[in-house]
Amino acid sequence: MKASYAAHSEQSRGRQYPESAIQYRTEFQRDRDRIIHSSAFRRLEYKTQVFVNHEGDLYRTRLTHSVEVAQIARSIARNLRLDEDLTEAIALAHDLGHTPFGHAGQDALNGCMKDFGGFEHNLQSLRVVDLLEEKYAEFPGLNLTFEAREGILKHCSLPNARQLGEMGERFIEKTQPSLEAQVTNLADEIAYNNHDIDDGLRSGLISIEQLCELRLFAESYDEVMAKYPELTGRRVVHEVLRRMINRMIVDLTVTTQQGIDAAKIQNVDDVRQQAKPLVGYSIDLEESKRELKRFLLKNLYQHYQVNRMTIKANKVVNDLFEAFFNTPNVLPHEYQAKINDQGESDTTKARVIADYIAGMTDRYAMKEYNRLFEIQSGYL
188 is a site residue for Mg ion (CB under 5 A): yes
Between residues 9 and 66, which has the closer beta carbon with respect to Mg ion? 66
Which of the residues 243 through 262 are near Mg ion (CB under 5 A)? none
Tell me if 94 sits within 8 A of 184, measured CB to CB. Answer: yes
Question: For residues 367, 368, 374 and 378, what is the CA-based torsion angle, rounded to 10 degrees?
Answer: 80
User: Smaller CB distance to Mg ion: residue 186 or 339?
Assistant: 186
How far out from the chain centre does Cα 83 lie?
19
The nearer residue to Mg ion, 188 or 196, going by C-beta atoms, is 188
Question: Of 184 and 310, which CB lies nearer to Mg ion in the complex structure?
Answer: 184
Least distance to Mg ion, CB of residue 98, Å: 8
Name the minimum Å distance from CB 317 to Mg ion.
Answer: 19
Give the number of residues written for the chain. 380
The residues near 238 (Cβ < 8 Å, ≥ 6 apart) are: 198
Nearest Cα neighbor of 91 from 19, 184, 155 is 184
CB of 69 to Mg ion, least distance (A): 6
- Site size toward Mg ion (CB under 5 A) is 2
For residue 95, state whether it binds Mg ion (rule: CB under 5 A).
yes
User: Smaller CB distance to Mg ion: residue 27 or 95?
Assistant: 95
> Which x/- pattern over 12-51 shows residues binding Mg ion (rule: CB under 5 A)?
----------------------------------------
End-to-end CA distance of the chain: 55
Q: Closest distance between Mg ion and the C-beta of residue 43, in Å?
A: 15
Of 70 and 113, CB closest to Mg ion: 70
State in angstroms the smallest separation of the CB of 238 from Mg ion.
21
Q: Closest separation between CB of residue 59 and Mg ion, Å?
A: 15
For the CB of residue 124, give the shortest distance to Mg ion in the complex, in Å: 13
Which of these ranges, 2-10, 77-85, 89-97, 242-250, lies near Mg ion under the rule CB under 5 A? 89-97
Q: How far is CA 311 from the centre of its chain?
A: 22
Do 91 and 34 form a contact (C-beta atoms < 8 A)?
no
CB of 284 to Mg ion, least distance (A): 25
Q: Which residue number, 289 or 351, has a Cβ lying nearer to Mg ion?
A: 289
Contact (CB, 8 A) for 361 and 46: yes
Piece of the chain touching Mg ion by CB under 5 A; list 185-193, 274-282, 286-294, 328-336:
185-193
Is 196 a residue that touches Mg ion (CB under 5 A)?
A: no
Residue nearest to Mg ion (CB): 188
Of 127 and 338, nearer to Mg ion (C-beta) is: 127
Binding residues for Mg ion (CB under 5 A): 95, 188
